[in-house]
Each structure stands twice: as structure tokens, then as C-alpha cells.
Amino acid sequence: MITRLLALVLFVLLAPAAHAQNAPTRQELAVYAGLHEAAAKGDVAEIERLIKDGEKPNIQDSKSRTPLHVAAYMKQHAAARALLKLGADPNRLEIDRYDIVTIAAVANDLEMLKIALEGGGSARNITSRYDGTALIAAAHLGHAEAVKLLIAAKANGIPCVGPYGNDRNWECRQGQRRVGAHARSPARANQRAEQMFRIREQPALPPVLVARAV
């Protein structure tokens, strides 16, 4: 049975959102020093020593990544725990506007996602250049367990305010409810391959990506 149209308020919200993250490159990893290097390597003792000696836990690299972002990208769980314990900001956004919750959700790194949420990361942040959410990204990729964790953490579905939505957009509001309802079912979350997407133009609104769940 075809559900009501599930609007996701940005033309490129779903497809690009899962792929726009930029983890540190090999070249960047090679020149990292201090906390960024320690985070990338998962060196907890060095993280603790550096912060004790005065290095700031939220220091940024050229892409606005903090050591915590690097730990999330590199799946260094112990390093992430240590950084959070020592004052790292779990809601800080890097240059492409990703936080560690969204990084972990896209990577389907459940352990990192739990660490991020337990460490103060918000599942309700609006992230990415597409004004998406961690829940939208995880549901789109079929990461059912990540979706369940995000739902439990009161995650947003679709942001209905801002440049790509407004409070009068009925489809946006319906979509916000539908994403949450569908995501509660692991089977539904795993039906990415069975979803068909189409573009529909609306007067006075930018193009929206509409998902017709089958």
C-alpha cells in the first residue's frame, strides 16, 4: 500500500547528504600533530597528557575538525570517550557542518553513536550543507539500529524551518511525522532499495525531494 507522500525538504537532501562528509585524507593525517594526531591514532594517554599540558580540546584543523571529529571519522572510540571526558564539544560542527552524531550515524558506527549521545551530543542538530539531520541520513542508508538509537534520543525527522521549508509546508510536517513512524520499524528502515524518489515542483518553494514509500 502506498503511503502518503513523504517530503524531505531539500532538493539534494538525501542522496548527497550521505556522501558529502570528508574524513581526514592520508595527506592530512600525515601532517597532524598534537591532539589531532593523538585522536587519529587513538592514543588516550597522549590525549590526556596534551590536555593536561594546556592544549585546547576543541582546537580545529584547516577543515574546522576538532580532535573529536577526527576520532569519530577514524572510529577511535576510546579516544572519543577521553576527549569528551576532558571537555571536547560533542555538538561542534566542522566545515561541512557535520557533528559527531551525524558522522557516526552515516558510518553506522553504533559504538561511536552511543558514545556521542551519552557524551552530550544532540540527535536534534541540523547538520550538513543540506540542512539535514542524523536521522534522515541513517534512515536513508538503511541503518536500522542507528535509527533506533536516534529515535530513542528524540531525534528530529525533517527540519521544517529555515531556507528550505516553512511552517505552512504541509508535506514537510507530514514528512516529519512519517520519518519518525517509519524509522521505528527496522524493516521499514531497511527498505531503502524499495523506495522510489521523484521530484515535484511547488509554487513559491524550491524543488523538494519526495519519497514515495512502497
For residue 84, the surrounding DSSP H or E stretch is: helix 77-85
Whole-structure pTM value: 0.71
Give the tens place of pLDDT for each residue, 22-47.
999 999 999 999 999 999 999 999 99
Instruction: Transcribe 97-166 into DSSP letters.
Output: ---HHHHHHHHT-HHHHHHHHHTT--TT--BTTTTB-HHHHHHHTT-HHHHHHHHHTT--S---SSTT--
The pLDDT value given to residue 10: 34
Per the CB < 8 A criterion, the answer to whether 129 and 19 are in contact is no
Confidence of residue 188 (pLDDT cuts 50, 70, 90): low
DSSP-derived letter for residue 28 is H
Give the tens place of pLDDT for each residue, 99-151.
999 999 999 999 999 999 999 999 999 998 888 899 988 888 889 999 999 99
The pLDDT value given to residue 124: 95
* pLDDT of 184 strictly over 80: no
| Rounded Cα distance, 26 and 10, in Å | 32
The pLDDT value given to residue 181: 54
